[in-house]
Amino acid sequence: MQLSFFDLGNRYDQLSKLKDPLVELNRVIDWNLFADFLRETTTKARKSAAGRKPFDRAMLFKMLVL
């Protein structure tokens, strides 16, 4: 079976219709409440633009909650 360009979007729509717990959790929790706290955790400035960019702190926090 070959996947098309729109398969991922269709899959997300199907999960939303089935009451996916992650979609529901994202709807219930206001992640912006943690934005100031998460911003404070980044204290070390980058020395150069070389290398991989750091992960988004909000995404890491969501993973930690799960």
For residue 61, being part of any structural domain is answered with yes
Q: How confident is the model at residue 49 (pLDDT cuts 50, 70, 90)?
A: confident
28 found inside a domain: yes
Residue 12 lies in a domain: yes
- If one counts the domains in the chain, the total is 1
At residue 2 the predicted structure's pLDDT band, cuts being 50, 70 and 90, is low
What's this model's pTM, rounded to 2 decimal places?
0.59
Domain of 16, in residue numbers: 7-43+53-65
Mean pLDDT, residues 31-54: 81
CA distances from 32 to 55, 57, 65 (A): 17, 12, 14
Q: How far apart are CA 50 and CA 42, in angstroms?
A: 18
Rama region for 8: left / alpha / beta (φ>0; ψ in -120 to 50; rest): alpha
Residue 22 placed within a domain: yes
1: in domain:
no
Read off the pLDDT of residues 4-39 as tens digits, 9 standing for 90 and up. Answer: 667 878 887 887 788 888 888 888 989 888 888 888
